[in-house]
Amino acid sequence: MSVVIVGGHDRMVGQYKDICKKYRCKAKVFTQSKKNLECLIGDPDLIIVFTNPVSHEMVKVAKKTAAAKEIALVQSHCGSGSSLHTILKDVRSAAPAS
């Protein structure tokens, strides 16, 4: 599964990627605004938006991209590692068995 994380804290990027690896997810993390964010997001299976530590513009781009490409989007107010664990655990348990 591929995951894009939009928002969060700069100091947590490594931890976000490590947590995603534990859930067998390949992750891209964008904590700072980029001019071509829509293109950088690509076609992941899931977009996670940490809404507290992120610019409104980045949230709009993430939502627009998710809607246009029919990508699942999960929002969390908190950008903690614990929140990411919970989101990934919930997504894994909701996914159909392969």
3-17 residue pLDDT tens = 999 999 999 999 999
Total count of domains within the chain: 1
Q: What's the pLDDT score for residue 53?
A: 77
Distance, in Å, from the CA atom of 32 to the CA atom of 39, rounded to the nearest integer, reads: 15
Q: Give me the domain span that covers residue 34.
A: 2-94
- pLDDT tens-digit map of 27-78: 999 999 989 999 999 999 999 999 887 889 999 999 999 999 999 999 999 8
69: domain CATH number?
A: 3.40.50.720
Is the Cα dihedral 78, 57, 22, 98 positive or negative? positive
